[in-house]
Structure 1
């Protein structure tokens, strides 16, 4: 048996994802002793342990994590190659997996995707919503071809193909008292009002936390949620205040139902939304078309109405 045998790697992946060798065997419909024997043989050949057994199941060692990452990349490359081979037969067909933050949905569906589907009506797509950290993980682990993410943490395994400047704004009802204040607002100006914020796993909340620390201010949230839609309802129906990039509420702002106010802190004005893929991944043709369309639609000089997003500078 070769040390990096595909079957053994699949056993390792199943054991880790299922939490135990027995659960993995049940999922694979084989004998648990066969799974244990193959994993033990691979550990012997590699001369290093790959899993640690505990009372609650198994977890990968550092070497096991390295092999799991290799297995995921190999599987993704295989799937992408098969997709490309299929597209050689029929270049009009293909499927694309995209993961994105909720705030991108409105602009994406009403802007960029309409033009894409008009040109490629037979391509299908899965759009999954996730928090910032989960968007990054999903793209790195090749569960999605590409991601749209706001303020991602530094990650050398990601490649940013386009970057859009999207400052965080104070979002209120148009007639809210904060709307009458001149000039950019400070975080401490929000203290008298009921504030709604995203969960800490979201890029919006992470950049706000950094600004709080820099200003020596601690914001108290009356509402914490994982939904931008909930925050907008909180603002419009409960007279609350929230912090969001303006594009998340573009429709409501254009209709004068909500208003966006600038903030004074520099870090809140330097935040970017990015289109990302895993570094080194060769996308199948369908996903490559969408990536090119997104980056082209977000090119410098395009108006928000044309692009679905504000002006952008291309990443190297």
Structure 2
């Protein structure tokens, strides 16, 4: 029969006190309750653990062995309490954050700086990945928290297996080369773009946003170039390969030889930038703190950038 850890720790107090009466006082038990605990522990051990004497008790050889192991357990429990206290107080711990590149290039730097200033002893690790990989990283527990995006029609469901909270709406803008007929226009309607060649970033999710916007305007887009990044897309727009519909967050580093048309009628397609975590699980104190900072920083960046 396995021995009950709580009863083993009672035996430790008896050994330290030297009597059942003094141990009971330390534990805030009655003497009979301590005696009963020791008796039950002896039943579990199958041998006597204490010798009762006129002036207190002493441990048998078996009792001494149990106390040695119980003290190891006691030290482990105390260490666990101390470590949990340090983690909850953000004096230690590790936080693994996943992010998409457009967030890395925009407001994430401010969030990281704020987190490190407030919680310098937390080991923060950041993994940048495509939207399609973020869900896998969360599910496999390679990251604890993520910034990703969903399409607006996914608002109710969010990312599969994840609980999401909106940070900001990220509307798309139109990039055209310098000298293009749309340069200087205050607004443009999607149906005016039916004959334009398109440059997209290589991603089925990004392509779906463009296709939905074009189909709503009554045409299918003709893609002339698939870029591996939004910076590459800007370069191809600049040399006249086509026009591009890109998220506003991707304009953090904007080339001088392209023009941005921000007013797309009737409403530009947009992404929802969200904070994602595993559904049904509680975040660590570090994760909670970073989540708050990301929400604050992302929303403030939106206000500053217009």
Normalised TM-score (structure 1): 0.59
Q: Which residue of 1 aligns with 2:8?
A: none
Distance 1:230 1:118 in 2: 34
The higher radius of gyration belongs to 2
- Does the 8 Å CA contact 1:163/1:274 hold for their aligned counterparts? yes
Residue 275 of structure 1: CA displacement? 1.2
Residue 112 of structure 1: CA displacement? 2.3
1:296–1:181 distance in 2 versus 1, CA, 3 Å: closer
Q: Does 1:199 align with 2:202?
A: yes
Q: Write the deviation string for residues 56-80 of structure 1: whole angstroms up to 9, x where unpaired.
A: xxxxxxxxxxxxxxxxxxxxxxxxx
Residue 258 of structure 1: CA displacement? 4.7
1:57-68 map, 5 Å: none
Greater share of strand: 2
- Does the 8 Å CA contact 1:186/1:264 hold for their aligned counterparts? yes
Q: Which residue of 1 aligns with 2:96?
A: 97
Residue 277 of structure 1: CA displacement? 0.9
Q: Which residue of 2 aligns with 1:29?
A: none
Q: Which residue of 2 aligns with 1:179?
A: 183
Q: Which residue of 1 aligns with 2:284?
A: 284
In structure 1, list runs of 5 or more residues that go unmatched.
1-80, 311-316
Q: Does 1:138 align with 2:137?
A: yes
Q: Which residue of 2 aligns with 1:126?
A: 125
Q: Which residue of 2 aligns with 1:262?
A: 263
Count of aligned residue pairs for this structure pair: 221
1:13-52 map, 5 Å: none
Q: Which residue of 2 aligns with 1:272?
A: 272
Residue 168 of structure 2: SS of its match in structure 1?
A: strand
Normalised TM-score (structure 2): 0.61
In structure 2, list runs of 5 or more residues that go unmatched.
1-79
Residue 271 of structure 1: CA displacement? 3.2
Distance 2:95 2:252 in 1: 26
Distance 1:229 1:131 in 2: 15
RMSD: 3.2
